[in-house]
């Protein structure tokens, strides 16, 4: 894993992933994007020369060209090996009678539209990494896109209903994962949707059974084992497959 980009990296799982990568010394360059830099992320970047923080509100799709240029300068001709579309939002449990258009739109733009458009902008850098490592099998040594999804986006596992904005946006993200996996197979770029588990973060809440460290080490263990046959899959953080 040489060059890694994580969106929404100032807190929660995104910050946990940056911490993991710096501690494990696993990446050559870690690019952490966020809209507001947290003290923890600032401290990490002061301690780790290979950690770059870039300002990115993922709803500002007009800024993606500029961001790609900045990322290109960091990764050079090695390209980008791992893109983790992690930034996400949710609304509280929403019953059909209470759901609002604004909630549906906000979840859709952050959780679905932004990952698709950012991936589109970063594709040349992902292709560069896949090509530069043409002697290696498909997977993290070439180029991988991880769309951070949720089991709540699984249509097959929906037994509770509700959560219209979040469920619909993550189900749509899963559809995008599948299309990307088909479209990018010829470029040797692997694409998967990942459920991080129910994790103690601002989003997951304090009743969640998993802590960030457990989820994150599971996520990277799973990513490190991804092979050609995994492209287009929906995976749990522990590597088990989830139903769409």
The values of phi and psi at residue 122, to 5°, are: -95, 0
Can you state the angle between helices 212-225 and 12-24, rounded to 10 degrees?
Answer: 60
At closest approach, how far in Å is the CB of 194 from ligand NAP?
A: 9
Strands 143-148 and 189-195: parallel
Q: Which stretch binds ligand NAP (CB under 6 A): 28-36, 43-51, 124-132, 183-191?
A: 28-36
Q: How far is the CB of 199 from ligand NAP (least distance, A)?
A: 4
| Position 115 contacts ligand NAP (CB under 6 A) | no
The only residue of 54, 113, 199, 226 in contact with ligand NAP, by rule CB under 6 A: 199
* 11 near ligand NAP, judged by CB under 6 A: yes
Q: Does 218 bind ligand NAP (CB under 6 A)?
A: no
**3-state SS of 160-221?**
CCCCHHHHHHHHHHHHHHHHHHHHHHHHCEEEEEEECCCECCCCCCCCCCECHHHHHHHHHH
Q: How far apart are CA 53 and CA 167, in angstroms?
A: 30
Secondary structure class of 15 (helix, strand, coil): helix
Tell whether residue 89 is a contact of ligand NAP (CB under 6 A). yes
Residues present in the chain in total: 244
Binding ligand NAP (rule: CB under 6 A), the pick from 28, 48, 50, 59 is: 59
Residue 110 as a binder of ligand NAP (CB under 6 A): the answer is yes
For position 41 contacting ligand NAP by CB under 6 A, the verdict is: no
Beta strands in 37-78 (DSSP E): 51-55
**Residues 117-176 within binding reach of ligand NAP (CB under 6 A):** 148, 150
CB 107 within 8 A of CB 89: yes
For 244, the 3-state DSSP assignment is coil
Of 132 and 208, which CB lies nearer to ligand NAP in the complex structure? 208
Which of 8, 139, 165, 218 binds ligand NAP (CB under 6 A)? It is: 8
Among 88, 139, 165, 218, binds ligand NAP (CB under 6 A): 88
Nearer to ligand NAP, 119 or 133 (CB): 119
Catalog residues that contact ligand NAP under the rule CB under 6 A: 8, 10-14, 34-36, 57-59, 86-89, 110, 148, 150, 195-196, 198-199, 201-204, 208
């Amino acid at each position: 894993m040489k060059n890694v980009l994580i969106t929404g990296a100032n807190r929660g799982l995104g910050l946990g992933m940056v911490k993991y990568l710096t501690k494990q010394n696993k990446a050559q360059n870690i690019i952490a994007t966020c809209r507001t830099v947290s003290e923890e992320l600032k401290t990490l970047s002061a301690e780790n020369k290979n950690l770059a923080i870039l300002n990115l509100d993922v709803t500002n799709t007009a800024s993606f060209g500029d961001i790609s240029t900045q990322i290109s300068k960091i990764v050079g001709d090695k390209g980008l090996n791992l893109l983790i579309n992690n930034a996400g939002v949710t609304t509280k449990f929403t019953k059909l009678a209470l759901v609002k258009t604004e909630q549906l739109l906000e979840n859709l733009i952050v959780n679905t539209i932004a990952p698709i458009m950012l991936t589109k902008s970063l594709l040349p850098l992902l292709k560069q990494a896949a090509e530069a490592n043409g002697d290696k099998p498909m997977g993290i040594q070439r180029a991988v896109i991880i769309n951070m999804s949720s089991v709540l986006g699984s249509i097959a596992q929906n037994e509770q209903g509700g959560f219209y904005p979040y469920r619909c946006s993550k189900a749509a993200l899963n559809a995008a994962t599948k299309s990307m996996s088909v479209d990018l197979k010829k470029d040797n770029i692997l694409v998967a949707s990942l459920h991080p588990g129910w994790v103690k973060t601002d989003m997951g809440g304090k009743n969640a059974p998993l802590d960030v460290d457990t989820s994150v080490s599971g996520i990277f263990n799973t990513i490190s084992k991804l092979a050609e046959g995994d492209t287009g899959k929906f995976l749990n953080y522990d590597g088990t497959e989830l139903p769409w």
